[in-house]
Chain A
Amino acid sequence: MHLGAGPEDKKHEQAANGKTIPPIWLRTSQHAVEVSVAIVLLALGGLVFYDAIRLGPGWGESGPQPGFFPFVLTLFLVAGAAGVLVQSLMKPDRRPFFEVPREVEDLLKVGIPIAIAVLAVRWAGLYVTSGVYLALFMAWYGRFRWYQALAGGILLPGIMWMTLREGFNISMPMSMFYRSGILPF
């Protein structure tokens, strides 16, 4: 019984045709991601359910107990996630999640620096991180000249410093140099 081309059949087909098999992130279909998200939601629902029971899911003397709302909401969440799961299993959306390799490339090129920047803020403080981030991004992704990138990397923290620190006195994470007294930022 031929149930339609699944991922295994496609792989064999492509290998047989002599084409290179695309990497896993290009072969992921919408369906796979849908199902994964639904499962994650179900798991989260289960976690919350457990805590809601602990808090008391019923109706006390003067209105709902603390666990009442989480309990009811979990029911909705789990019902909804189960509904999505069933829907996707019945009519799987086999379109690829990422349509062209360029998508993943650009996404990683932009996303990974963001992740690194968040990590860096803790140690380098917001001002230094933002300057370095902008300068490096301009030079690497935007292919700006080094002096343009440098200008950007100094201007952005400068403007932010003037507005946030001097102007409105809103504190932002400072670098470890600040904490040890070497630099004012």
Chain B
Amino acid sequence: MEAIDLLMIGFGALMEPSRLGFLMLGVILGLLVGVIPGVGGTTGVAILLPITVFLEPTSALIMLAGIYWGSMYGGLITSILFGVPGNPWSVATMFDGRPLALQGKAGLAMATGFWVSFVGAIIASLLFTFFAVPFAGMALRFGPPEMFAVLMIAFGTFIGMGGAPVKALIMIAAGFLLSTVGLDVVTGQPRLTFGSIDMLTGFHFVPVTIGLFGVGEVLTNAAERYKVQIEEMTRAAKLGLHDITAGGAAVVKHWWLAASSALLGFVTGILPGAGATPASFMAYGFAQKTSKHPERFGKGAIEGVIAPEAANNAAGTGAILPMLVLGIPGSPTAAILMAGVFMWGFTPGPRLFVEQPEFVWAFIASLYLANVGAIVICLTATPLLAMMLRTPYAIMAPVIVVLCFVGGYAIQNSMLDVWYVLIFGIVGFILRRLDYPLAPFVVALVLGPLTEEALRQSLIMSDGSMLIFVQRPLSTPIAIVAILLFLLPLLQMVWRRLRARRQEMLQQR
């Protein structure tokens, strides 16, 4: 097939020692940046972009790919080890990854995360290689109504997610409300700021999440230290190569979940504006909904690590597709990559495939190679990383807190955000004690602005008519799926009542 021949040419261009060296360097830098909370992802890649200016295009390309992928892998390290999300798309990994670490299984969680990230990225890369053009066409027809429908699916998967339903509802409403603070997108009016200038920036989800989960976790651990100590749990667990094989085995066992999450992630990543973050939440929600043991999620179910990690890496790959093929970046991080492509004198878009095939296919080949490089480095480092949890609590706690401060400040260089970290840490502690589920809150906070913007843009397009969601060919099926998801708990309840009544009638006879 033509695609494979071109791919081989791409690989050939990359297989030089110096270029492979740049790849590894890029991966390590990307990992470092992905690990620093709050900086991982878009900011991190943007910071490292200038390093590649001095290299010739193909080496710069492979290094940038390494950085991009390293940051995608790195975020899960702090999510699992410390409960501090390293970048936005690692928040969902944290929901089950951190409990696993608390049970002494940090090495297993990380190894599984790395393996499934690799699998997700490779599946996405294969889809990219062979189906670039049809998927790109889909990206073109994607507008606000489709975006809203997709986000409704994301919310639909989170209905019924852990905890008492009333408390989940409160958390979703609170998360949404928090996301509306600040300037209104459409009219420009300040909302919920109560006259304060500081509140105009609103609540960025990174400091809030770092506070709720990072500092909240530190406080919860402190209060429970008379019962359980993490260093003891980790010391008790054996560390070593068997974690790596166990991680691989877990991915093989749940191969269907990994593959479907990767597909979901890839499609979500292609859609402009929806990147790895919504993809990871959706995959988590779907995994919980379709699992045989949904109650295990949030307490250390390995599926809760597999689904979001497969999805976010696949989405990261998918986001590059419209960037390369159409010149429309699929996610903020892909936009940075696009800046890099411009920097080297290329113009992304349909002509690039025709005029510069060596560059394009070298880029696609770099997707595979960067992932191989990343997984090799990550898996080798896994036992060392897991050992970090053995450090005495008196050292770990301040380090985690300082990391939280760094993460909170790095987003907007605002001291107020660091205060938010502290305040939400206390709030997170209290809410956890009272069994308020934090996950719906975070999802609402992250996806809220996107959802509201999409809805209002759609309604502007349709002059106020809600029918637009079922009038467009692409959004109609998505909207129907979303509606079904919302109605599902209701339908299930009705079904169960009917069955119970039928059984009663049968027994009475």
Chain A residues with a Cβ under 8 A of chain B: 30, 33-34, 37, 41, 47-48, 51, 55, 59-64, 66-67, 69-70, 73-74, 76-77, 79-81, 83-84, 87, 97-98, 100, 102-104, 106-107, 109-111, 113-115, 117-118, 121-122, 126, 130, 133-134, 137-138, 141-144, 152, 156, 160, 163-164, 167-173
Cβ–Cβ < 8 Å partners of A117 in chain B: 401-402, 405
Once the chains bind, are B398 and A173 in contact (CB under 8 Å)?
A: no
A–B pairs, 27, beta carbons within 8 Å? A60-B464, A61-B464, A62-B463, A63-B456, A64-B459, A73-B177, A77-B177, A84-B166, A107-B222, A110-B219, A118-B419, A118-B422, A134-B398, A134-B402, A137-B394, A137-B398, A141-B393, A142-B392, A144-B394, A156-B398, A156-B399, A156-B402, A163-B32, A168-B39, A168-B47, A172-B409, A173-B415
The A-contacting residues of B in range 228-269, CB under 8 angstroms, are none
Q: Mark contacts of B380-417 with chain A using CB atoms, 8 A cut-off: 1 yes-contact digit, 0 otherwise.
A: 00000000000011110111011001100110010100
Is chain B's binding surface mostly helix, strand, loop or mixed?
helix
CB of B437, distance to nearest CB on chain A (Å): 12
Taking a contact as CB atoms under 8 Å apart, the answer to whether B464 and A130 are in contact is no
Q: Is the CB of A169 within 8 A of B189?
A: no
* B339 close to A (CB within 8 Å): no
Chain A residues, Cβ within 8 Å of B418: 118, 121, 173
Which residues does chain B contribute within 8 Å of A109, judged by CB atoms?
222
Are B223 and A106 closer than 8 Å at their CB atoms? yes
The complex places the Cα of A66 from the Cα of B455 at a distance, in Å, of: 12
Would you list the 5 A-B pairs with minimal beta carbon distance, nearest first? A142-B394, A63-B459, A110-B222, A80-B170, A76-B173
B39 and A62 form a contact (CB under 8 A): no
CA distance A143 to B395 in the complex (A): 11
Q: Categorize the interface residue count of chain B.
A: 35 or more
**Contact digits for B178-199, partner A, Cβ 8 Å, 1 yes 0 no:** 0010001011010110100000
Does B140 count as interface, using CB distance less than 8 angstroms? no
Bound CA–CA A98/B433 (angstroms): 10
Q: Given the complex of chains A and B, what is the CA–CA distance between A160 and B455 in angstroms?
A: 42
Interchain CA distance A77-B186 in the complex, whole Å: 24
A169 to B430, CA, bound (A): 36
Interchain nearest-CB distance for B218 vs A (Å): 7
Which residues of chain B have a CB within 8 Å of any CB of chain A?
32-33, 36, 39, 44, 47-48, 166-167, 169-170, 172-174, 176-177, 180, 184, 186-187, 189, 191-192, 194, 215, 218-219, 222-226, 392-395, 397-399, 401-402, 405-406, 409-410, 413, 415, 418-419, 421-422, 425-426, 430-431, 433-434, 452, 455-456, 459-460, 463-464
Q: B398 — which chain A residues lie within 8 A by C-beta?
A: 113, 130, 133-134, 137-138, 156
Complex alpha-carbon distance, A107 and B221, angstroms: 9
**What's the Cα separation between A164 and B36 when bound, in Å?**
9
Contact B459 A152 (CB under 8 A): no
Contact A100 B226 (CB under 8 A): yes
Find out whether the CB atom of A160 lies under 8 angstroms from the CB atom of B402: yes
A59–B464 touching, CB < 8 Å: yes
Residue from A73, A115, A121, A152 within 8 A of B395 (CB atoms): A152
User: What CA separation (Å) do A66 and B185 show in the bound complex?
Assistant: 9
Taking CB atoms, residues of chain B closer than 8 Å to A98 are 223
What residues on B are CB-neighbors of A144 within 8 Å?
A: 394
The distance in angstroms between the C-alpha atoms of A55 and B167, with both chains bound, is 27
Q: Provide the residues of chain B in CB contact with A142, threshold 8 Å.
A: 392-395
A111 in complex: contacting residue of B47, B192, B222, B419, CB < 8 Å: B222
Inter-chain CA distance A164–B38, complex, in Å, is 12
- Please state if A66 and B184 are interface contacts (CB–CB under 8 Å): yes
Q: In the complex, what distance in Å separates the CA atom of A103 from the CA atom of B406? A: 28
